[in-house]
Every structure is written in C-alpha cells, then in structure tokens.
Amino acid sequence: MTQQFYVSPEQLMKDRADFARKGIARGRSVVVISCEDGIALVAENPSPSLHKIGEIYDKIAFAAVGKYNEFESLRQAGVRYADVRGYSYDREDVTARGLASVYAQSLGAVFTAEQKPFEVELAVAEVGSTQAEDHLYRLTFDGSIADEHSFVVMGGQAERVSAAIDQGWRASLGFPEAVRLALNGLAPAPDAEEQAKPLPARALEIAVLYRHSEETRGTRRAFHRLNDADITALLA
C-alpha cells in the first residue's frame, strides 16, 4: 500500500498563493482612477474583442487582470447577480460593495477548496454623485477585499505603475488628465539612454464611468467605452 505524501496546510496555501501571483504578474497592468468627471478605467490590451474592462450595472464597472476565461466567468456572474437583485428588489440596492462581497466569497471558496486557484485580480468601481462617494474595491485571488481610495493598479509591474500614479494624482484631475496620468504609469520603463515611448491607441482599452455627462443623459447608465478614434482624439 502506497503512502500519500503529507503537505501542511500552511505550505499548501503558500504554494497556491505563489502560483496565482506569478500568473497575475505575467499580465499587463490595469489602472482605475477616480477623477473629477467620474472614474477612468485604463488597460494595456491589444485585443479589440477580449475586454479587461466591462459594465456590470447602471453605475458599476468591472476591471480585471489574469486569465481571461476565469475573470470573464466572474464578470458574467456579476451581471446576473446585479440583474436579479435589481429586478427582485430595487435598482438602488445593486451596489459595488454587495457585488464585491459576492466576488470575495467565490474567490475565497475556489482558493481554499479547489486544486487550482483563480489567477485573477479584480476591481469593482461605482461612481457617485460626488467624488467623495466613489467606491473602489480591489479583490485578490484568495478572496481578500480592500476598499481603495483615489486609484487602483493591478497586474504587471503594479508597484512601479502605482508609484508613478501616486506622484501625479490629485482630486481635481479631469478625465483626459486622469487617462494621461495612467498612460504615463503604464508606459514601459525607458532604458538609460532612451525616453519612455507612449503606448499606441490600438494597444489600449479605455472606458469611463461618467458622473454627469451628455454621453449618458436621459439614461441610468454611466459607462462609456472609447474606441480607437476616441482614444486618439483624447491623447492628441
């Protein structure tokens, strides 16, 4: 009779966490920034159809890094949760905090019970009527949830990007300035003798949750995704 190898729970959790972190770090970064006009969501993403940023409900958006099939299944589950809750109760009962709690439970259950954890990191953003009422939640692969302020950076070289954005962030930033700040952080680190090269529009995915705008007037929706022409005009 063969004897199974024993692995301590502490070592098992550590191995799973290291595995998930390595998978997330291989992805390109995503930045979510609260600004005067709303909440800007900026991702380095050359794919025109496999989105890292999406709309969940009226004033709630979703951003993710990691394995596409895993975070896309979570995004779809979040849309179903929001639709059912809004229909069963009231649209105002659908909040980013409630959605983040559901995501945290799902990620935590997979991390502890399944053999392989999700290689994803998520951000759930809800725009408020004022900047002080904006909500940014960051969720990691093990179900940990953090209530962030001002901005969230996930994936890739997150520490370097976060440090660059922290130096330039201020509450009075407009949407164009917030996007440029995010792109300055996302730009590859230059060599000693070269300047940092800006990312082309086709390599970017940009969306915004407008606080008040003609784009969303007359509707409940605050989410607006920019196409390549919009991004080029914005950065010109």
Instruction: Give the pLDDT confidence score for residue 192 in this predicted structure.
Output: 44
Q: Model confidence at 103, in pLDDT bands (50, 70, 90)?
A: very high
Query: What are the structure tokens assigned to 54, written together?
Result: 């999406």
Quick: pLDDT tens for 30-71. Answer: 999 999 999 999 999 988 889 999 999 999 999 999 999 999
pLDDT above 90 as % of the chain: 69
Region 208-214: mean pLDDT is 82
Q: Model confidence at 215, in pLDDT bands (50, 70, 90)?
A: low
Please indicate whether residue 118 or residue 213 has the higher confidence score (pLDDT).
Answer: 118
Distance of CA 186 to the CA centre of its chain: 14
Distance of CA 188 to the CA centre of its chain: 19
Region 199-206: mean pLDDT is 88
DSSP collapsed to 3 states, the chain: CCCCCCCCHHHHHHHHHHHHHHHHHCCCCEEEEEECCEEEEEEECCCCCCCCEEEEECCEEEEEEECHHHHHHHHHHHHHHHHHHHHHCCHHHCCHHHHHHHHHHHHHHHHHHCCCCCCEEEEEEECCCCHHHCEEEEECCCCCEEEECCEEEECCCHHHHHHHHHHHCCCCCCHHHHHHHHHHHHCCCCCCCCCCCCCCHHHEEEEEEECCCCCCCCCCCCEEECCHHHHHHHHC
Which own/partner contact pairs does 85-88 have at CB distance under 8 Å and 24+ positions apart?
Answer: 86/57
- pLDDT at 217 exceeding the cut of 60: no
When mean pLDDT is compared across 6-15, 56-65, 72-81, 155-164, the lowest value belongs to: 6-15
Instruction: Give the pLDDT confidence score for residue 61 in this predicted structure.
Output: 97
Region 197-207: mean pLDDT is 85
Region 162-190: mean pLDDT is 89
- pLDDT at 106 exceeding the cut of 60: yes
Instruction: Give the pLDDT confidence score for residue 81 in this predicted structure.
Output: 96
